[in-house]
Amino acid sequence: MSTEQEDWVKPESNWFKMEKVGDTVSGRLVQNPYIKKDTSGDFGDQRVFEIEQTDGKVVNFGVRLDKNYLISRSNDLRQGDMVKFEFVKEIPAAKKGHHPAKSIEIYVRKTEEGDKMREFERTGSF
């Protein structure tokens, strides 16, 4: 195996970013959503959804914990459930010079695998 500099490549980020109205990310949750603490102060603490898309690519999608609408609607999601996030509209910035807010909608489909995870958490057995 060569260690020459030209053999090394920087991997593409696996974080999905909503850029324009109509963007969506969807698929099967690879693991239960988890909390990622923001140590930089740039993004806020987030709930991270690790999503396997239909093409097999796994992407992360983060939702800030202060986004109560999305957080409350995702509280019961577990590994194996299906989830879709959609950028539905821009909301004008409250302060002049700031970027508009992104209105994101969540859609969920609970699955048998997710039901087993919820049952395990509730009872301690499958």
Q: Does some domain include residue 116?
A: yes
Q: Does some domain include residue 8?
A: no
Structural domains of the chain, count:
1
Q: Does some domain include residue 4?
A: no
**What is the per-residue pLDDT across 30-74, written as a single tens digit (0 to 9) for each?**
999 999 998 888 878 999 999 999 999 999 999 999 999 999 999
Note down the domain range covering 27.
17-123
Tell me how far CA of residue 61 lies from CA of 7, 11, 24, 29, 46, in angstroms: 30, 17, 11, 11, 9
Mean of the per-residue pLDDT values of the chain = 92
CATH number for the domain that contains residue 34? 2.40.50.140
Predicted pLDDT of residue 4:
63
pLDDT bin (cut points 50, 70, 90) of residue 6 is confident
Q: Does some domain include residue 74?
A: yes
pLDDT above 80: residue 3: no
Q: Which among 110, 112, 94, 92 is positioned nearest to 102, based on CA atoms?
A: 92
Q: Does some domain include residue 69?
A: yes
